[in-house]
Every structure is written in C-alpha cells, then in structure tokens.
A and B are shown apart, each in its own frame.
Chain A
Amino acid sequence: MADTALTSLLAEDSIRLDCTAVDRFDAVRQCGAALVAAGAVDESYVDAMIQRENTVSTFVGEGVAIPHGTLAGKESVKRDALVVLRFPEGVDWEGNAVSVCVGIAAAGGGHIALLSQLAEILLDPAKAEQLRTATSAEQVYSLLTPSDDDDD
C-alpha cells in the first residue's frame, strides 16, 4: 500500500492512466490542469509550464517527461505536489514518444525522494516498462515507493 507521505504528494485522483493528447503542449496543459485540480497551483502555473516546455524540453528518457514550471512560476505554487498522466497512445515530444508525464509543482523539497525514485525507475528498463504500461494507481504507487536499499 502507498504510504501517507506518498499519497499526500501524489493523490490517487491525480493518477490518470487513460489520457489522450494531440501534442506535447496539450499533454503539459493537462498536467497543469491536474495540478490545479489537486489544489497545488494557481491557474497561472500552467502558462509557466508551457513556457518552460518551449524553452527546454522536459523529456527525460524512457518515454517519460516531467513537465513543470519556471523559477518565476514558483510563486503560483501553493504546495508540493505531483500528478501522473499516462498517454497509452503516446505523445510526440520533439521526435520522442512519451507515454507517461509526471507533472511537478514544487515550492519546497517535499518531492525530492519521489523524483529520486523516478530516476531509479528510468535507469531500470524493466521498471520503466512497468510504469509505461501501468493500468492501476496501485501499480504506480508501488513503483514510486522509495526502496530501502539506498545505503548500499
């Protein structure tokens, strides 16, 4: 089961596994809308996310992008939160196919452990595949729960 630290950062309502988007900006806007719905950001943050995507892509490999705002956009962040949107049909991300977007709103550092865990997933092709093909929130939580072997 997901622990409370994880669910307060990534609410079950914020895991949407059957999305479609016409292009990457549409996908980013949907991530932004999900962050607004989660009460994490003001509407203006969505524009900051688009601006950031225009400047530097947030594609991070393994079919995953991590849309987030700019430094200026941080003022629109009310609390640290993440959303996970899956696009089973894929979204063209400047020539890369993206099937999972992890939208980020962060004013503090509450999300650092979770992003480190995401990095672990992306470095493990089998786990990345599991994330790209996840069909339940439970699977997403299970993948993103930090492992205990950090001190090896």
Chain B
Amino acid sequence: MTTVDGSSIKKLIVACDAGMGSSVMLAGQLKKQLKKSGVVVEHSPVAHIPQDADLVVTQAGLADRAQGVVPDVPVVPFQLFLGDPKVAKIVKAIQDGTTVEV
C-alpha cells in the first residue's frame, strides 16, 4: 500500500516502457481530469522518469523498474489502462485534496 496525499501532488508522471503508447493514452485522460487541479501530468519512458515527480503511476509489470529510477517517489502500479480503481482513487484524492491508501 502507498499513501498518497492528494494536496501535495503537483507533478504526476505516467510511465511505460517506451513512453509512446499506453502511458500516452492514460496521461491524456488524466490531464483532462486534473486540468482544473493545476497538476502537471506527463508521460515518460520508465528509464527517464523525472526526479522532481511527486507521484508515478505505471503498469504493474514495470513498477519495480520505475521505483529503481526514482527511489524516493511513490510509485503506484495499475492493472487496467482505463478505469483502474487505484487511478480513479488518486484522481479523486488530488481533486479533493485528501489522502488515500492505494
């Protein structure tokens, strides 16, 4: 479990292996959902996750690699590209400025 404080998230990274497919699709969705919250949402290859990220979401199979790149940043693995319950909880926590366990 990872504790996510929605109010502290300013930069959310969606990571995938190449940063050209799945992460692009999810990042586009999150950008729309979080536009009003003023959060920067970017997609990135796992190997190039920026160190100033506040939170990383990535496919379950890539989470360990992502954590290796940014050891101090919370990494939340997801199973479903679209409509994943964990991702939905994070979006809500950011929108409401609340803290969730995911």
Contacts and interface: CB of A to CB of B under 8 A. Distances in A.
Interface of A: 52, 55-56, 58, 60-61, 66, 68-71, 73-74, 104-106, 111-112, 115-116, 118-119, 122-123, 150
Contacts of B19: 71
Contacts, number: 69
A40 to B, nearest CB: 12
Contacts of B25: 60, 66, 115-116, 118-119
Contacts of B83: 61, 123
Given A55-B61, A56-B61, A111-B24, A119 B82 contact: yes
A73 B19 CA distance: 12
Query: Which of A68, A106, A118, A122 has most B Cβ within 10 Å?
Result: A68
Contact of A68 (B18, B59, B80): B18
Q: In terms of DSSP, what is the predominant structure of the interface of chain A?
A: mixed
B18 A74 contact: yes
Contacts of B80: 61
Contact of A112 (B28, B45, B61): B28
A73 B62 contact: no
Given A116-B29, A119-B26, A69 B82 contact: no
